[in-house]
Structure 1
Amino acid sequence: MRARRPQVGVVLTAQHRAGRLAFAREHQDWQIRHWHPVLFTDESRFTLSTCDRRDRVWRRRGERSAACNILQHDRFGGGSVMVWGGISLGGRTALHVLARGSLTAIRYRDEILRPLVRSYAGAVGPGFLLMQDNARPHVAGVCQQFLQEEGIDAMDWPARSPDLNPIEHIWDIMSRSIHQRHVAPQTVQELADAFVQVWEEIPQETIRHLIRSMPRRCREVIQARGGHTHY
């Protein structure tokens, strides 16, 4: 046995585990054709100054505090940007950068559901399914009413299940890509522009590969009896 950093996971109650297990059992036998009309969506916030513990330095003993071996980090981030996106086997939405302020139900309806999800649903046609998590703005009455009026069906997504959503890996890919740039974004606008560019450059095959992993994700949840998985 060796010391390792623990895997970080969301808190799961017995109710959460039961919901996750029920979802996994219901969808474990879905074929690719079943997942084809599903749009996986999510929001994520990124900061200008992010210390992800992935950097490494070569140093001699006693040089730990040398200036050249210090990764300077602003604990308050120095500014941040929140983005929303959706992916499917057949394509992706535009990446929406949320302006200042928090995401409310009204903003979610007016900035995301109405201009982005509705048009994507129209392009997919019959059978379209919206995957969104149980964040408060998503399940608010005004948003549920809008979806119902537009005839857009949403999946019954289990709470506390980021490991089941393949778009979470897209956020990680994007973060790594920007983190590895020789010239890091210096302003919030530069950060937003960088994420839009990286989003558009992600190969569609990468997205398809992640979505094809849904049966495996479901099986892992079943094996874990609704608990955490390596995803």
Structure 2
Amino acid sequence: MRARRPQVGVVLTAQHRAGRLAFAREHQDWQIRHWLPVLFTDESRFTLSTCDRRDRVWRRRGEHSAACNILQHDRFGGGSVMVWGGISLGGRTALHVLARGSLIAIRYRDEILRPLVRPYAGAVGPGFLLMQDNARPHVAGVCQQFLQEEGIDARDWPARSPDLNPIEHI
């Protein structure tokens, strides 16, 4: 046996498990035709400078200070960038880089829903379904109101269930 880092998972309460089970049961009989108009979306933050101390080097005795064995990093971090994207069986959205600042509901509506999701929904046509997680900007009133006004159906997603969303694996 060899020492390994443990897998990391989310903490699930009984309520989380019930929500996941209900979602799975609701969609267990869906066929490809049901999934065709579904757009799975998510945003991710990428660190521009790694300093998580998980990198490893292979070295021989006496090579401790060799330049190839020194991982350089900025003590104060190197910043990060947040990107948003969507995938479906029939295509994908453009990858949108969220420059500076946090994602708030107004930005989500103005930078993502209006210019990216609405045209995609129009191209898919009737039956379009938006799958997004339960992040605060997504479920905020201004975003829900916008989706309702545009006639875009957004599916409720079970809390703490990123593994059920295929975009999480991309």
- The TM-score with structure 2 as length reference comes to 0.90
Single out whichever of 61-70 and 144-153 deviates more from structure 2. Answer: 61-70
Distance in 2 (alpha carbons) for counterparts of 1:52 and 1:30: 41
Deviations 1:44-96 (A, max 9, x none): 11121125677553311353454321222335431211111111111111111
Q: Is the 8 A contact 2:51 2:73 kept in 1?
A: yes
Please list the CA deviations of residues 202-229 of structure 1 after superposition, one character each: whole Å capped at 9, or x if unmatched: xxxxxxxxxxxxxxxxxxxxxxxxxxxx
Q: List structure 1 runs of 4+ shifted beyond 4 angstroms.
A: 51-56
The runs of 5 or more residues in structure 2 that have no matched partner are: none
Alignment of 1:167-186 (within 5 A): 167-168=167-168
Query: SS at 1:167's partner residue?
Result: helix
Gap change, CA 1:3 and 1:94, over 3 Å in 2: same
Question: Going by fraction, where is helix more abundant, 1 or 2?
Answer: 1
Question: Number of matched residues?
Answer: 170
- Quote the offset at 1:156 in angstroms: 1.6
Per-residue CA shift, 1:21-48, capped at 9, x if unaligned?
Answer: 1111221222222111110000111121
Q: Which runs of 5+ in 1 are unaligned?
A: 169-229
Where 1:87 maps in the other structure, the secondary structure is: strand
Structure with more contact order per residue of length (Cα contacts < 8 Å, sep ≥ 6): 1
1:15 Cα shift? 1.2
Between stretches 33-42 and 75-84, larger displacement belongs to 75-84
Say whether residues 1:48 and 2:61 are aligned partners.
Answer: no
CA displacement at 1:157 relative to structure 2: 0.7
Q: Report how far residue 11 of structure 1 moved.
A: 2.3
Moved more, 120-129 or 92-101: 92-101
Give, in whole Å, the separation in 1 of the partners of 2:32 and 2:61. Answer: 53
Over 3 Å counting, the alpha-carbon distance change for 1:159 and 1:72 in structure 2 is same
Task: Report the Cα distance in structure 2 between the residues aligned to 1:112 and 1:18, rounded to whole angstroms.
Answer: 31
Deviation by residue 1:140-179 (Cα, 9 ceiling, x = unmatched): 01110111111100112111111111112xxxxxxxxxxx
Distance 1:28 1:43, change over 3 A: same
Aligned residue for 1:41, secondary structure, equals strand
Shift of 1:100: 0.9
Inter-partner Cα distance in structure 2 for 1:85 and 1:76: 28
Distance 1:157 1:75, change over 3 A: farther
Whichever of the two has the greater Rg, that structure is: 2
Q: How much is the aligned-residue C-alpha RMSD, in angstroms?
A: 2.2
Deviations 1:174-201 (A, max 9, x none): xxxxxxxxxxxxxxxxxxxxxxxxxxxx
For the Cα contact (< 8 Å) 2:19–2:159, is it kept in 1? yes
Contact 2:39/2:130 (<8 A) preserved: yes
| Residues 76 and 23 of structure 1: CA distance in aligned 2, closer, same or farther (over 3 Å) | farther
> Does the residue aligned with 1:43 lie in a helix, a strand or coil?
strand
Give the SS at the match of 2:46. strand
- Structure with higher strand content: 2
